[in-house]
Amino acid sequence: MRILFIGDVIGRSGRTIVNARLPGLIAEWKLDLVVVNGENSAGGFGITEVIYNELIDAGADAVTLGNHAWDQREALVFIERAPRLIRPVNYPKGTPGRGAALVETKNGKHALVINAMGRVFMDALDDPFAAVERELAACALKVSADAIVLDMHCEATSEKQSMGYFVDGRVSLMVGTHTHCPTADHRIMPGRTAFVSDVGMTGDFESVIGMTKDEPLNRFLRKVPGGKFEPASGPATLCAIAVETDDASGLASKVGAVRLGGILEEARPKFWE
């Protein structure tokens, strides 16, 4: 199975490049499963139903969230009628929506997509390790799912790496999101799970983690908020991770970084060229 996970989409700039490039990438690379992190897609904070449908129409098979899941209050309502919108699985019992979804892939197979949120330097939530363990026990790789993708949304690299080893050999891809800065440690772990500490953002990198530079600089220099954070609106870089799995095991056989457009150095998975 060919999997593409697209990192945190930031505002209009990020949405524009996803809408422009994703349909062509699906055709060119013969993608079977596309997952997009959309928690910053609405003005940099949260997601709306219109934007969720826009990402699905562009070719996403699932959209994951994170700590900004509810910044657009409508998400608390429309998530119940959006079966492929996935919020962190370790939110407390009774939180609207779902933390995992079994979705049909473009080649007619089934993939489990899980979203978890870390607790180091983040909001206090339930234990993400225990929550992920419950999902894997209920829907094991090659028993109930042909592939499993885990989006670990958190601040600390150590927490993401620990989750990677925790699920190694049991999921196809463990991808870190949230920090918006792509790391160079993508690899296949000993148990054949593809891993990257942070896939990076899909947004304008002439910015401070996707936001226009003036307000973050003002807060660092003067310690006084001067206004709202606004997403940068220049040409975006699409940051993603490409994974190919072995059909027999559902585990990773190839992994590569993807960076397209904008100001970052381009990267493409050579094994799909």
Domain containing 118 — which CATH number?
Answer: 3.60.21.10
Of 48-62, 186-200, 210-224, 231-245, least confident by mean pLDDT is: 210-224
- Rounded to an integer, the average pLDDT of 184-209 is 97
**pLDDT attached to residue 226:** 80
Residues 252-272, mean pLDDT to the nearest whole number: 97
* Predicted pLDDT at 104: 97
pTM: 0.96
- Computed over every residue of the chain, the mean pLDDT equals 96
Taking only the tens place, the pLDDT of each residue in 235-250 is 999 999 999 999 999 9
Q: Where are the beta strands (DSSP E) in the chain?
A: 2-6, 33-37, 62-64, 85-86, 100-104, 110-117, 147-153, 173-177, 187-188, 194-196, 238-245, 252-260
Number of domains in the chain: 1
113 or 273, which is more confident = 113
Query: pLDDT by residue (tens digit) across 201-248?
Result: 999 999 999 999 999 999 999 888 888 899 999 999 999 999 999 999
Phi, psi of 2 (to 5 degrees): -105, 120
Does the active-site annotation cover 68?
Answer: yes
Compute the average pLDDT of residues 190-210. Answer: 97
CA distance 1 to 109: 9
Instruction: For residue range 129-168, list pLDDT tens digits in order.
Output: 999 999 999 999 999 999 999 999 999 999 999 999 999 9
State the DSSP code for 34.
E
Residue numbers of the domain that contains 119: 2-272
The neighbouring-strand residues paired with 100 are 114
